Structure 1
Amino acid sequence: MSTERSACLFCKIYDGDEPTEVLYRDEDYIVFPDIKPAAKHHYLVITREHIRHAKQLTSKDKKIIEDMVRIGKEVLEERGGDLSDLRLGFHFPPFYSVGHLHLHVISPASDMSFVSLLMFRNNSWRFVSPEYVKSHLW
């Protein structure tokens, strides 16, 4: 195991070394609740592979983003979240707290507090949509 992976909180969660409620797991992704939810449903979709952030993705990684969005929506729908009142996105460097690629899935977005709306404002200087990331892959 790489030093970076062994030091990463989200890698530890994926590997089962850090306890959390797992909502979804397969060989490449895991979904769990955010510890500071911005709405009733606030989940994180992470990759098994240690990718530090969205700026590290390239055009060959488009499927990763698509898989994360699909899985996040499936989990949200299974748990009773509203797909029509949804906020999806990634914190964008240098504005991220955990150095492991993760997609925020938040619903209902209309119930978010003022502070959460600022923190998770689509295509802002700190939080970007999956579409934004895909359009900036090189």
Structure 2
Amino acid sequence: MGAERSSLVKVKKGVEYLKTTNEVHDCLFCRIVHGESEINQLWYADDLCALFVPRSPAARLHFLITPLEHIRTINELTKDHLPLLEHIREVALEQLRVHSELASSKLQPLAHPPTYKFNRGKLNNDTENTMKETTSNNDHNFIFCFHAPPYNSIDHLHLHAIYKPFVNLWSSIQYSNNKSWCKSLEHVIRDLKK
């Protein structure tokens, strides 16, 4: 069975592709965003995207916001994706704001979802309206970025929403905006609008 399967699919960056058509056969992030993973629990989901914590958070708060639609990398984005990117930005900002305000200044490294002590998911209406009307004192510590090919870890587009400080020097380098390996959300949106 294993030999038969390997003759039908190829695996590249967490995604199985059919060898004959290069179409997606199976994708780790597709399974996560559709709630089919016990390892990565969803923190937030709507009809366009889902949010979860990566296995190795790089900062005090680190979320991945992934479109439900399978888009491989930032290189596949078009102007038609601008509304999706704007929505993803709103979700990322909302979630970082509420969690950064709830987090104490001495927050321990982020634990995986079952033991994470702050609320998850869609905010209630009062909190949501407050977050939309004001900026957070922590906004200057937020980073929104994508890893650019070939530096992306998986072939399913995902935005890193990060609240600094980073856990170590390597993480600060890995998520440095507008380097060859890492593009800010604003940079990607600006390029698509050109």
TM-score (norm 1): 0.90
1:71 is matched with 91
| 8 Å Cα contact 1:39/1:111 also seen in 2 | yes
Residue 24 of structure 1 aligns to a residue in which SS?
strand
- Distance in 1 (CA, whole Å) between partners of 2:144 and 2:167 is 13
> Which of 40, 51, 74 is equivalent to 1:31?
51
- Distance in 2 (CA, whole Å) between partners of 1:5 and 1:112 is 34
Structure 1: where are the runs of 5+ without partners?
none
- Distance in 2 (CA, whole Å) between partners of 1:66 and 1:27 is 14
1:105 is matched with 161
Residues 2-21 of structure 1 mapped to structure 2, 5 A cutoff: 4-19=23-38, 20-21=40-41
Corresponding residue pairs, total? 136
| 8 Å Cα contact 1:5/1:11 also seen in 2 | no
The CA deviation at 1:50 is 0.3
Residues 59-138 of structure 1 mapped to structure 2, 5 A cutoff: 59-80=79-100, 82-108=138-164, 110-137=165-192
Give RMSD over aligned pairs: 1.8
Structure in which a larger fraction of residues adopt strand = 2
Q: Which string of whole-angstrom CA distances, capped at 9 and with x for unpartnered residues, describes residues 52-111 of structure 1?
A: 011101111111111111101111122225322011100011211110010000112x34
Structure 2: where are the runs of 5+ without partners?
1-16, 102-137
Q: Which string of whole-angstrom CA distances, capped at 9 and with x for unpartnered residues, describes residues 9-63 of structure 1?
A: 1000012221222211111110001111111100000001000011101111111
Max radius of gyration: which structure? 2
- Distance in 1 (CA, whole Å) between partners of 2:63 and 2:166 is 15
Amino acid at match of 1:63: P
- Distance in 2 (CA, whole Å) between partners of 1:123 and 1:75 is 23
- Distance in 2 (CA, whole Å) between partners of 1:106 and 1:37 is 9
> Which 4+ stretches in 1 moved above 6 angstroms?
none
The CA deviation at 1:114 is 1.1
| 8 Å Cα contact 1:6/1:12 also seen in 2 | no
